[in-house]
């Protein structure tokens, strides 16, 4: 199992952007663009892991300004 910690910066408040992206991901036509945005923001995280996060296939936790989630693989 791989665990990812997506930290915030002065440019990105990660809990907010992830909540925004999860909300938008419910619209199928918006999924490719949202996946691109989050993948570009966090390039070290595999796209499949981001898809699992945004589609709510895996839960996540907020640790301060950081989003933490785990995926199989």
Domain count, the chain: 1
**Which residues partner with 71 through β-bridges?**
2
Segments forming the whole domain that contains residue 44: 2-71
pLDDT one-digit tens code per residue, 29-68? 999 999 999 999 999 999 999 999 999 999 999 999 999 9
Closest CA to 64 of 4, 22, 11, 15: 15
pLDDT one-digit tens code per residue, 5-36? 999 999 889 999 999 999 999 999 999 999 99
pLDDT > 80? residue 73: no
């Amino acid at each position: 199992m791989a665990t990812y910690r997506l930290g915030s910066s002065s440019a990105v408040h990660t809990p907010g952007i992830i909540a925004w992206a999860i909300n938008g991901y419910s619209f199928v036509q918006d999924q490719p663009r949202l996946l691109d945005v989050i993948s570009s923001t966090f390039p070290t995280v595999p796209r499949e892991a981001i898809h699992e996060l945004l589609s709510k296939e895996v839960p996540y936790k907020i640790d301060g300004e950081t989003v933490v989630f785990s995926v199989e693989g």
